[in-house]
Amino acid sequence: MASRKNSSPPPPDPRGRLQPSDWIWAGFRALVKGGPQALRVEPIARELATTKGSFYWHFVDAAALRTGMLEAWEQVATTDITTAVRQSGLPAREQLLLLVEKVSISPNAEAGGDAVEPAIRDWSRTDFMARQMLERVDRQRLDDLRDFFAAAGLAPTAARQAAELFYAALLGLESLRLTTGIAIREPLRALAERLLASR
């Protein structure tokens, strides 16, 4: 995340000093509500009840905020999840079921809620940087899923196919959760168990 180095203290902030993460989460909320065109400093500052000066204490420009948002999404929605599962110490099958539990949790409303990932996918249609990040995340998730299925006993080709089926189901269920409120944990768990039983 690009930051601006200042020798003077930041301007007063009526809500207390904001952190870069406050701006990032506010950016996600703006993206969900208004699309990529809403990722502008002034309206986000208004939503946070602060000034543009507070923003520029943490970020060089709006592009740096967008970069920070994409990096945060990759970290929270992919890296942190798989790291926690791998470090759980559970047997391979239980690791995969723990992954189901973790990906079934709705994102925090403070960071855009269930609509945040669909909003990022929409953003990627018109923004090269967002597209690059999305492609990397999708590849990483598929690789991680393949590794989890392989560790649970599936042969290489079966593990790859299981990863693709599981990920496609996850994306579809997330879309349905957004439009219908469907709970995705049980369908995902049933699919994971069926794929594991096919070994």
pLDDT band at residue 86, thresholds of 50, 70 and 90?
very high
Place of tokens 């990920």: 167
CATH of 70-197, one of 1.10.599.10, 1.10.357.10, 3.50.4.10, 3.40.50.2000: 1.10.357.10
Percentage of the chain exceeding pLDDT 90: 84
CA-closest candidate to residue 34, choices 88, 115, 100, 98: 115
Amino acid at 78: T
pLDDT > 70 in the chain, percent: 91
Mean local confidence (pLDDT), 143-151: 97
Whether pLDDT at 103 is above 60? yes
What does the pLDDT look like over 29-79, one tens digit per residue? 999 999 999 999 999 999 999 989 889 999 999 999 999 999 999 999 999
Q: Cβ(44)–Cβ(30) under 8 Å?
A: yes
Look at residue 168 and tell me whether its pLDDT is greater than 80: yes
Q: Does residue 177 have a pLDDT over 80? A: yes
Position 6 pLDDT exceeds 70? no
Contacts 24+ apart (CB under 8 A), 1-10: 1/59, 1/64, 1/67, 1/68, 1/71, 2/59, 2/60, 2/61, 2/64, 2/67, 3/58, 3/59, 3/60, 3/64, 4/56, 4/57, 4/58, 4/59, 4/60, 6/57, 10/53, 10/54, 10/57
Q: What's CA 1's distance to the chain center, in Å?
A: 16
Number of H helices, E strands in the chain: 10, 0
With cut-offs at 50, 70 and 90, classify the pLDDT of residue 109. confident
- Which pLDDT score is estimated for 111? 86
